[in-house]
Amino acid sequence: MASTDFDKAPNRRGTGSLKWDIFDQGGTLPFWVADMDFESPPEVIEALQARVAHGVFGYAYATQGEKDAVLEYLYRVHGIQAPGAWMVWLAGMVPALSVAAAVARERGALSSLCTTPVYPPFLKSPGDAGLESLSVSLCQDMNGRWTFDRDALENTVRPDTGLFILCNPHNPVGTVFTRDELEWLGNFCERHDLLLCSDEIHCDLILDEEKTPHVSALHLSESLQERTIVLMAASKTYNIAGIGCAYALIPDGKLRTAYRKASGGWVPPVSVFGYPATEAAYRHGEPWRQDLIEYLRGNHRLLGEYLQEHHSEINLTPAQATYLAWLDMRPLDIEKPRLFFQEHGLTFSDGGDFGAPGYLRWNLGCTRAVLTEGFERFTSAIRSIS
């Protein structure tokens, strides 16, 4: 089947698209919420069409073929050998974070820890389970890459902290954490008796997989597995987030039982569309994924070149993964950057929601035509203040 032409994307306006419609004020260009404008791989669309054609949409569970597709993919692409028993299916990753917090609360914790900037539910979800959310800022190395501030983490963790929530690869700063960084973090979790909830939803969106391979929390020490919950989904990579299908991998039986128990009543079951879409993406989507990454690399490069040429005062984090770009807007001294650009026909995500006011997150999961139009509007917005 022909591959997707990423220069062509369906018109999403007026389709109930959160990204395109909710902040639209007559032609606003959306670069905020993390989904992409591209059609999913043709095989995913076919699998969904087949499911619709069946015409019966009662409750579903994962068939053996659907489970095998995930387990084979994890092994083939990431070298993760996970038995099927480790899997817990979930209708989404955000409730999965709240469930991890509930498990920590059940074990006696009163607080959780994460690093900022970070995907906003990392800061908010622990509160659903009654945990105080502690956070420590990541720090930037000489090349602008963000990493753990080990001393600050040691100084912030408390005896009542029971959970560390990791984002790897990282939304929004695009870091792919190295084995050394993750081994340190694993050791930190063991020393402070923390559960490690590792959100790896962006692990198939690494821009150079040879240079910066994905190291899963499941690749770390055997002893760490007793406290590890890994969250994954095909949703970001294959653009099926609206279907709602994710899964947790929990090696330890007791922890898995506690997680299942805590999720009962909170997390709805996966829809009839979630399983076949995930299976098709994982079984057939690899050539599409490679083309997508090539296209996204191009979009990251274009944004870098554009900022360098026209707005070199704005500091762009060099991304190793994701279709998200992280911009330090503070040199422009705009009081409310998100609002300011919204008034100029562009929607971005506000750094303040990620624990980093003064920054913007720019979603590059769009065609070059939309991106280029975005550049023009961005420049004219900035010209309006200088």
Ligand X SMILES: Cc1ncc(COP(=O)(O)O)c(C=O)c1O
> Between residues 92 and 186, which has the closer beta carbon with respect to ligand X?
92
Minimum CB–partner distance for residue 167 and ligand X (Å): 5
> Do 350 and 362 meet the contact criterion of CB atoms below 8 Å apart?
no
Q: Given strand 29-31, what is the order of strands in its sheet?
A: 29-31, 346-350, 359-363, 324-328, 315-316
Minimum CB–partner distance for residue 46 and ligand X (Å): 23
> Between residues 41 and 169, which has the closer beta carbon with respect to ligand X?
169
- Helix (H) or strand (E) holding 139, with range, is strand 139-140
Residue closest to 171 by CA, chosen among 337, 311, 373, 323:
323
Residue closest to 7 by CA, chosen among 372, 378, 375, 376:
372
Name residues contacting ligand X, limited to 269-298 (CB under 6 A). Answer: none
d(CA 243, CA 125): 21
> Between residues 128 and 190, which has the closer beta carbon with respect to ligand X?
128
> Between residues 238 and 340, which has the closer beta carbon with respect to ligand X?
238
Torsion of CA 199, 270, 11, 360, to 10 degrees: -20
> Do 4 and 295 meet the contact criterion of CB atoms below 8 Å apart?
no
d(CA 240, CA 68): 19
Minimum CB–partner distance for residue 41 and ligand X (Å): 18
> Do 103 and 258 meet the contact criterion of CB atoms below 8 Å apart?
yes
Phi, psi of 134 (to 5 degrees): -100, 145
Quickly count: other Cβ atoms within 10 Å of residue 142's Cβ. 5
Name residues contacting ligand X, limited to 296-355 (CB under 6 A). Answer: none
> Between residues 93 and 136, which has the closer beta carbon with respect to ligand X?
93
Name residues contacting ligand X, limited to 109-128 (CB under 6 A). Answer: 119
Minimum CB–partner distance for residue 354 and ligand X (Å): 11
Torsion of CA 301, 167, 97, 66, to 10 degrees: 70
State the number of binding residues for ligand X (CB under 6 A): 13
> Between residues 125 and 212, which has the closer beta carbon with respect to ligand X?
125
Among 4, 20, 34, 67, binds ligand X (CB under 6 A): 34
Site track 217-246 with ligand X (rule: CB under 6 A), x = hit? ----------------x-x-----x----x
> Between residues 34 and 382, which has the closer beta carbon with respect to ligand X?
34
Minimum CB–partner distance for residue 42 and ligand X (Å): 23
Minimum CB–partner distance for residue 77 and ligand X (Å): 18
d(CA 98, CA 243): 20
Minimum CB–partner distance for residue 368 and ligand X (Å): 22
Minimum CB–partner distance for residue 242 and ligand X (Å): 8
> Between residues 48 and 203, which has the closer beta carbon with respect to ligand X?
203
> Between residues 122 and 295, which has the closer beta carbon with respect to ligand X?
122
SS3 for 299? helix
> Between residues 202 and 284, which has the closer beta carbon with respect to ligand X?
202
Minimum CB–partner distance for residue 34 and ligand X (Å): 4
Q: Which two tokens stand for residue 340?
A: 């300011």
Which segments of the chain does DSSP mark as H helices, in order?
A: 18-21, 42-54, 64-78, 93-106, 121-128, 150-156, 179-191, 235-238, 253-263, 274-284, 286-310, 337-343, 368-383
d(CA 344, CA 373): 12
d(CA 184, CA 224): 11
Site track 133-172 with ligand X (rule: CB under 6 A), x = hit? ----------------------------------x---x-
Name residues contacting ligand X, limited to 87-106 (CB under 6 A). Answer: 92-94
Minimum CB–partner distance for residue 113 and ligand X (Å): 16
Site track 185-214 with ligand X (rule: CB under 6 A), x = hit? --------------x-x-------------
Residues that bind ligand X (CB under 6 A): 34, 92-94, 119, 167, 171, 199, 201, 233, 235, 241, 246
